[in-house]
Amino acid sequence: QVQLVESGGGLVQPGGSLRLSCAVSGTIFSINTMGWVCQAPGKERELVASVTSGGSTNYADSVKGRFTIARDNDKRTAYLLMNSLEPEDTAVYYCNAALTLPDGYEHYYWGQGTQVTVSS
């Protein structure tokens, strides 16, 4: 069974850093785009960052210069390094990935979500 397994997150003071990880488990053919979205209380989910199979990245304006997304294809894992965290970054962060399975089709998966809380 294909799953995205997230780790990282937690409570951090303003100005601090966290690293989120998202690992793909199960039988797949290839990993296409991976990324994170976040959802704060009372708000809709919004894109944080994404990275294509070729390494092209995209960031929300609010995190540019502070967050970095990267992927290790050998480990089938994507990472979100979050620096200079602000209280406004507090949200549940969900990993997502577009995966090509052995059936030849692209399927879209979500991680379980991890809470990031920025507070003093």
pLDDT tens per residue across all 120 residues of the chain: 999 999 999 999 999 999 999 999 999 999 999 999 999 989 999 999 999 999 999 999 999 999 999 999 999 999 999 999 999 999 999 999 999 999 999 999 999 999 999 999
Distance CA 98, CA 33 (A): 5
**Locate tokens 């100005």: which residue?**
15
What is the SS3 assignment for 119?
coil
Percentages helix, strand, coil for the chain, rounded to the nearest 5?
0, 55, 40
Distance CA 71, CA 44 (A): 26
Distance CA 77, CA 71 (A): 6
